[in-house]
Amino acid sequence: MKTKRIIFGSLLLLLALLAGTLIVMQTVGQVSVDVRITPFNLVEEDPAPTLFKVKITVPASSGYTTADIDPATVRVEGLSMVPTPEDWEDDYKVTKTFFAFMVNGNQLYNIIWSKAAHMQPLPGAKVSVDITATGEFGDGTDFAGTCTVLFMTEHASPPPPPP
């Protein structure tokens, strides 16, 4: 009976260690970055912007800089960057403080609209929609960051005038 308790206890301890290792491995290796999207206020009654500008800022405490970002891996809600204005050297702009790029306005607007619609807001309501940017640094370490876009739903149609 004592042998069974020792075996059972050892198995429980082993399973606990395995579960702890899996949790730690899933959380290690991802750096949290700051993300800002412009425009950050949208109105459903207005047309979608042509482009959204996305800025990623890497915290100094992470040990990485914006120059370490691998541009080929950067996505916003799964969308890749698009060619940028002529005054930018590449499809993105890197400074000491930020990594900036553009994403397709219609595609990201549709994602934002879809997320807002799933919340079933009232007409004319302001809905906070979280948008996530992801990517990798040159050494393969993942990063992710989320920002909030304010989306105002379409106002209710006024009732028809009385006859």
Task: Specify whether domain 33-152 bears CATH 2.60.40.
Answer: yes
Distance CA 71, CA 1 (A): 61
Cut 0.85: pTM above it: no
Cβ burial 98-116 (10 Å sphere, 16+ → b, else e): ebbbbbbbebbbebbbebb
Going from N- to C-terminal start, the domains of the chain cover: 1-28, 33-152
Distance CA 138, CA 60 (A): 16
Q: Are 81 and 91 in contact (CB under 8 A)?
A: yes
Among the residue ranges 24-28, 47-51, 74-78, 87-91, the one predicted with the least confidence is 24-28
Tell me: the pLDDT tens digits for 36-78? 999 988 888 888 898 999 999 999 999 999 999 998 899 999 9
